[in-house]
Amino acid sequence: MKSLRRDFSSDPQTANVTSKIFVRSTKSGKVQKIVRELYLRQDIPCSSKLCSVCPTVAPADANGKIAPFVLSEHPAGTTAFPRGHYLVPDTNALLNGMDLFEHTGAFYDVIILQTVLEELKNQSLPLYNRLLALIKTDEKRFYLFFNEFRMETHVRRGPEESINDRNDRAVRAVAKWYTQHLQASSKKGKKEKALPTIVVITDDKDSLRKAKEEDVTALSLSDYVAGLEDSDRLLDMINESREARGAKGARGELFYPEYFTMSKIMTGLRAGTLHQGVFNVSPYNYLEGLVNVAAFDKPLLILGRDNSNRAISGDVVVIEVLPKEQWKSPSTKIVDEEAVTKNDNPDAEDSEAVVTERERKALQEEVRQAHGKSTEGRPQPTAKVVGMIKRNWRQYVGHVDSGSTGSQASAGRRQQTVFVLPMDKRVPKIRVRTRQAAELLGQRILVTIDAWDRDSRYPTGHFIRSLGELETKGAETEALLLEYDVQYKPFPKAVLDCLPSEGHDWRVPATKEDVGWRGRRDLRDLLICSIDPPGCQDIDDALHARPLPNGNFEVGVHIADVSHFVKPNNAMDLEASVRGTTVYLVDKRIDMLPHLLGTDLCSLKPYVERYAFSVLWEMTPNAEVVSTDFTKSVIRSREAFSYEQAQKRIDDSSKKDELTESMRTLLKFSKILRQKRMDAGALNLASPEVRIETDNDEVGDPLTDVKTKAMLATNSLVEEFMLHANITVAAKIYDTFSQTAMLRRHATPPPQNFEELSNQLAKKRDMRIDVSSSRALADSLDQCVDDKNPFFNTLVRILATRCMTSAEYFCAGAHAESEFRHYGLASPIYTHFTSPIRRYADLLVHRQLASAIGYEGEDGRASVEGVMTRNRLEDICRNINNRHRNAQHAGRASIEYYVGQALKARGEKLSANGVDGGIEEDGYVMRVFENGVVVFVPRFGIEGVVRLEDFVLQGDSSLRSVAERRELVVRRESDFDNEEYTLKVSDKGQPDRGMGVELFQRVKVNVSSVKEESGRGAGKRRVRVLILGAQK
Amino acid sequence: MAAQRQASSASQTPHISPAELSYLYTSLALPGSPIRPDGRSPTQFRPLTAETDILPGTNGSARVGFADGTQAIVGVKAEVEKTVVTADALKLPQQAKDDYAGNEDGDGNQGSSTGHGSWVQMSIEIPGFRDDDALPVFLSEMMREPLVESVSNGGSGNDEMAGGLKKRLVINKRWHWRLYIDVLLLSQPQSYPLPLLSLTTHLALLSTRLPKLKSKGEEDPFFDDDWGAAEYIYPRALKSKSHLSPSHQVRPPVTLLVISVGENVIFDPSREEIAVADTVLAVSVARDSDSDTLKLLSMRTIDPPSRLTQPGVANSENVATLGSTAAAEEAAILNPSTGEEEVPGVWRPRRGGVKRSTIARMVKLVLQKGGVGEEVLEGLEGVEVG
């Protein structure tokens, strides 16, 4: 018997056909063998401007043009490669040094292989996206070479060859081919002498060795960087983890348990024994995390470093519930990482245990508490992290822990390991190796986490760049923006190109025959005015009201017609959809739309004609809506008032003009509308907001800039009509787009969210809050009044607000209609329509409404612009919900920072004997812990943690320095009653001289800004709150 | 339609006249040295060409072509499937604690640990036949049976295949592989296609690979996405053990077609030879991994088509030749398979039935050291796989 195998080698057709085979596992558990055929080509260009052959063969697009060549004729040289060089990095080089490749000082003319790009995509999606962005930019000259499709550079996997080896071989094959190709094809006269070297960057020792054998120039990333200028700084930017792994591989001590295998995780998740959720760390206790999982109503508790097993706040983790005897109650202590672990030495890894004695003690306290009997102290189910679904690591802003640099700080440019304390307290400190420790001290720096291995107690990361000196305005503002992921880079040119070419000279067309007037109603003769905060430039909305002959009134809300200027899917629209919202910081505004639109062309400025989108109602004198009308319009605002000006004008009885009368009508109607809303059960919520007016001069007390927000009747005038317009529009667009309408909902909070607050209220004030409906809640909140303590009600409202879920944008198809409800506003349906200049959602709603009313626009396309697929819309919703939240946090953080700065400035001006006396204010106890309380100071809108040593007992001098206070720690003792929410603080052995505080109590506090002088994070400024005494 | 009706028997009967049949029979039945129409020796196979891994989308595949132009392609696909465990089996672990006598319930559990024959599905497509015709159904069952029932008794380092193919398909208690073996005959069957299909299936299974399992124990299965890491379903001898001859590997069984004509035993019969066979036997053999000898897995008789042939008419009974019958009648002997008197040179359809000793001889010829079975398996081992 004879066997015959067909021989393909003689077939000329087989050389350019090959296939790729892999196994794919589908979600349903099916396993498929996938075969992809690959047709190799010879016309993929090398993209070097030196080449004379490729331009003639490169494939052309539909217009007969070939893609411009990327790689420079005169690539930069280094000492090692004086003739210039092209870089060919392998996947590991990119994984380890993406920050380097993004660096503008070096790394030009880089050939990125398709092989490498695909491998990178599998290993790290964020890095892949960053690399794509790099390839897109022109200035860095990155060229994506499709080596797998080019016949000469395609590499077939040999028998017994691992994928990695094969890919490394592909990289070398490309380098070889480029060298030969350029030699053969470079333009005459350039031969030999000036040809750039092709340099392979790889950290793989085996690959380096093979490259040497094959006569390919190859260097490891660090060797290459060492040959560049400024190498010290660049070397710091190499990913730490991978480099270090080789060095310490053998050292066996593992601090953390291993994660389950993926298959074990999937089995567990499917079987319901494991759960998946986002890991959230408590802001008060870095050792305590919560994970919300779908299976349970309440989040599961994760206590301690062992159980959180290398998870960092924000990661998507898989958890396993611990046995019941390990259930604990949540901590009643404030645990600050800096304080507990300040003595850790970043280098001394050998001796360290995962849980230090001190940490263990901190945990023991909690175990003890777990055995309490009240609802508060009842043990809660705890869990431990057993797997990682997705790391959500980002870049973190922080500063170098001065303690960790120690004596070495002066040791010059030697590489050393330091700790970086992230600004976000929920993120553990990051171990960073750097050669510039000395320079980085006292700087705000940006670092990233590379890895957290089982044998390392803290995550390792590397330095990216410095933002500037700590506490300088520029550095701190940038830090804020980075921390909250605010897009603050200037608008790119492509976006600015979308602006009207007339610039500031743009005018509403004079003749009504112009296309701009098509479908617009002329409302220029209406007496429209706008009411906004003082100094407002981006005026979104304006109002009018006028009596009708039939005794009813016409009321109009006019919104800036942004959708006229921002056309769907152009660069400006995409940029706006990414930014999602304008971010307001104390001294800075990060716009969603370019300045020209936001503050001029769209802004409904007074005295000029502007395009608007108007909602017009006919209302009876009792504010019953008779009919509603939506129209695009042209308006001319008569006046732009600030809230105060408007209030004065209304109150001024001497004014009898029509504009004032119309404002009075509006005010009257707004009061009726408000009452109706309240009757329906709308909540009057409170947030601890202060406003900062920065236009004050330098003299006097800087703190006068800090103002609590005053609520005038005119504020609520505007607010009511905006709400009313939003609700009206929401109903209209939902009517037209039942699946894709862009709406906003506020989910009814689950009653258990209020459990703690209602316990506290019942205990301390004998008050009840009823959470059965928003109406009931609103009523019961109204009952929570303390005659002696006028702020008490606001405090309860603040706390109640925190128990609720946050409102979110959604697209109508995503929820059942019964779920559309906006809980806080007690409205069955709601959207955002009134601020298109600063919110992207409103812009979308404008388009949908225009489409719904059949407005065609200048080019007749407006009627289809509002139509969108649900998928795309859901993506947008996810993004803007996220941006919205970040913008709020950034704004708050900015105010907090400003308050701190104001306190500091005041302290410097008014300090006595070099010690900042601080300022005395009223504060309210918001939370009671075992070793401190959280006090809310309404005057500055800040919450301060007051530790035991910060209680000023009788006989203490309040002007003690931080260092002196610290010594007090050991002497202080506390008596904490978890069920009564009281804390009694005294010096040891002197219980009679103690001070007791309890929840909701009004206390006298001293607020000052102090700089840490020793220990952890020296140079870091914080607001210190001292409790001086109780006020009844 | 006639051909369709006969499909259940060994093959369509070729249109051969009774005289030719008789001639063929006499040649093949020559004691000691049968003369085959194509001049082969009784144990000689027709030349064939074979190649494997011809269908990239399958887990394993093979093509075999006989010199007479018949060709078959076999593709093997594997799919992960959840094992249905009976309620009894689920309870079993708990029962076992307090009730050791509860052995009767063991059946359901057995399926999950030792595999189940139904996990191998075979479908055969032959041009001109519907898939529910008797021939494809019968053929597939005939080939599937030895495949799933062949169980080596462990030992000799091949633990993986200890439970045979069906044990090999067990991933864990809750999951298993299901094999789909699709057999495609590309040409009209020139002869009974069983040997061709069996050899092709054998080669296809040899080249069949399953993705490498990454999960462990009772976890939901999770596989390596590198096809290069996939493992052969019939494991290869490792390179390091090269001193072992490749025949030590466990291999799927082959089914051989054997006929007897008179006292002679003939292998790989052509269509004409089958037409006159007294008996047609399908013998499945596999190598016994313990003793390095062949073992018999199954044996089936196949309805010989000779039964359906037209009988010849003896001169003595022929009206046209009535005069000259005397000599012929004298020569009449009793034929054992027709059970009646036979006139030499006059064809009588066979009625089936075979002597015990003939079957014994057939089996011996297949199984003996250096016998046909070994020859075939060695030939197949010569085909480069993978």
Residue A902 lies in a domain: no
Angle between helix axes A840-852 and A713-736 (nearest 10 degrees) is 50
Chain B CA closest to residue A29: B80
Last residue of a domain, one of A404, A435, A470: A470
Vertex A703, ends A700 and A708: CA angle to 5°?
A: 135
CA distance A534 to A647: 13
Shared domain for A205 and A309, answered yes or no, is no
Shared domain for A162 and A203, answered yes or no, is yes
Q: Domains in chain B, ordered, with CATH?
A: 2-312+347-381 (3.30.230.70)
The dihedral formed by the CA atoms of A933, A938, A940 and A946, expressed in degrees to the nearest 10: -10
Highest mean pLDDT among A845-849, B209-213, B282-286: A845-849
Contact B103, B83 (CB under 8 A): no
For B360-381, the pLDDT digits (tens) are: 988 888 888 888 888 888 888 7
> A1007 by DSSP, 3-state: which?
strand
Contacts of A851 (CB under 8 A, 6+ apart): A736, A737, A862, A863, A864, A865, A866, A867
The shortest C-alpha distance from B374 to chain A (Å) reads 12
User: Which range marks the domain in which residue A925 is found?
Assistant: 913-1031
Residue A820 lies in a domain: no
Higher-pLDDT residue of B129 and B341 is: B129
Shared domain for A625 and A758, answered yes or no, is no
Q: Is there a contact between B219 and A23 if contact means CB atoms under 8 Å apart?
A: no
Shared domain for A923 and A861, answered yes or no, is no
Contacts of A559 (CB under 8 A, 6+ apart): A540, A541, A612, A613, A614, A615, A725, A833, A834, A835, A836, A842, A846
Pairing mode of beta strands A197-201, A85-89:
parallel
Q: Is A970 exposed, middle or buried (0-12, 13-18, 19+ CB in 10 A)?
A: exposed
From the first residue on, what is the mean pLDDT of each consecutive set of 10 residues in chain A (1032 residues)?
A: 49 64 79 85 87 85 83 82 87 85 84 91 83 84 90 81 86 91 74 77 87 88 83 76 48 75 82 86 83 81 86 89 77 65 51 51 54 53 87 86 61 73 86 82 86 84 86 85 86 87 89 87 92 88 93 94 90 90 87 91 92 94 92 93 90 88 92 90 74 58 67 85 94 91 90 84 84 86 82 86 88 89 91 94 93 84 75 90 91 84 76 62 85 84 81 65 63 78 79 79 82 50 75 56
Contacts of A493 (CB under 8 A, 6+ apart): none
Shared domain for A354 and A462, answered yes or no, is yes
Neighbours of A842 (CB within 10 A): 26
Predicted local confidence at residue A193, as pLDDT: 60
User: Testing the interface with B: which of A2, A3, A5 to mutate, by most B Cβ within 10 A?
Assistant: A3
Alpha helices in chain B (DSSP H): 2-6, 18-28, 87-98, 106-114, 134-149, 164-168, 194-206, 271-275, 326-330, 356-367, 372-381
Predicted local confidence at residue A555, as pLDDT: 94
Residue A106 lies in a domain: yes
A196: CATH: 3.40.50.1010
The dihedral formed by the CA atoms of A554, A558, A564 and A567, expressed in degrees to the nearest 10: -120
Q: What is the DSSP string of B33-66?
A: S---TT---TTPPPPEEEEE---TTSSEEEEEEE
For A164-206, the pLDDT digits (tens) are: 888 899 999 999 999 888 888 876 655 556 788 899 998 888 8
Q: Which residues of chain B lie closer than 8 angstroms to A266, CB-CB? A: 219-220, 222
Higher-pLDDT residue of B300 and B67 is: B300
The shortest C-alpha distance from A948 to chain B (Å) reads 51
Residue A176 lies in a domain: yes
Alpha helices in A186-298 (DSSP H): 205-213, 221-226, 231-235, 240-248, 262-271
Q: Is there a contact between A25 and B222 if contact means CB atoms under 8 Å apart?
A: yes
Shared domain for A88 and A224, answered yes or no, is yes
The shortest C-alpha distance from A32 to chain B (Å) reads 8
Nearest by CB to A31, which of B58, B211, B382?
A: B211
Q: Is the pLDDT of residue B91 over 50?
A: no
Shared domain for A462 and A498, answered yes or no, is no
Domain tally for chain A? 5
Predicted local confidence at residue A164, as pLDDT: 85
Q: Is there a contact between A23 and B226 if contact means CB atoms under 8 Å apart?
A: yes
Q: Which residues of chain B lie closer than 8 angstroms to A2, CB-CB? A: 47-49
Q: Which residues of chain A lie closer than 8 angstroms to B380, CB-CB? A: 1
Query: What are the C-alpha distances in Å from A605 to residues A217, A526, A599, A696, B350?
Result: 64, 15, 9, 25, 110
Higher-pLDDT residue of A357 and B242 is: A357
Higher-pLDDT residue of A57 and B244 is: A57
Nearest by CB to A262, which of B79, B82, B222?
A: B222
Shared domain for A222 and A271, answered yes or no, is no
Residue A664 lies in a domain: yes
The candidate with the shortest Cα–Cα distance to A650, out of A525, A543, A725, is A543
Shared domain for A122 and A85, answered yes or no, is yes
CA torsion sign for A1005, A1011, A1012, A1013 is negative
Predicted local confidence at residue A607, as pLDDT: 92
Residue A649 lies in a domain: yes
Predicted local confidence at residue B244, as pLDDT: 41
Torsion-angle region of residue A816: left (phi > 0), alpha (psi -120 to 50) or beta? beta
Shared domain for A655 and A759, answered yes or no, is no
Q: Which residues of chain A lie closer than 8 angstroms to B231, CB-CB? A: none
Last residue of a domain, one of A437, A470, A503: A470
Q: List the beta strands (DSSP E) in A978-1020.
A: 982-987, 990-998, 1002-1011
The candidate with the shortest Cα–Cα distance to A387, out of A256, A290, A254, A261, is A261
Higher-pLDDT residue of A729 and B217 is: A729
Q: Is there a contact between A33 and B211 if contact means CB atoms under 8 Å apart?
A: yes
Residue A907 lies in a domain: no
Q: Which residues of chain A lie closer than 8 angstroms to B211, CB-CB? A: 23, 31, 33
Q: What is the DSSP string of A504-568?
A: GG----SSTTSGGGTTEEE-TTS-EEEEESTT--S--EEEEEEE-TTS-EEEEEEEE-HHHHS-T
Shared domain for A444 and A541, answered yes or no, is no
Residue A555 lies in a domain: yes
Predicted local confidence at residue A99, as pLDDT: 83
Give residues 24 to 63 of B whose Cβ lies within 8 Å of A: 45, 47-51, 56-59
The candidate with the shortest Cα–Cα distance to A229, out of A80, A28, A74, is A80
A1007: CATH: 2.40.50.140
Shared domain for A752 and A733, answered yes or no, is no
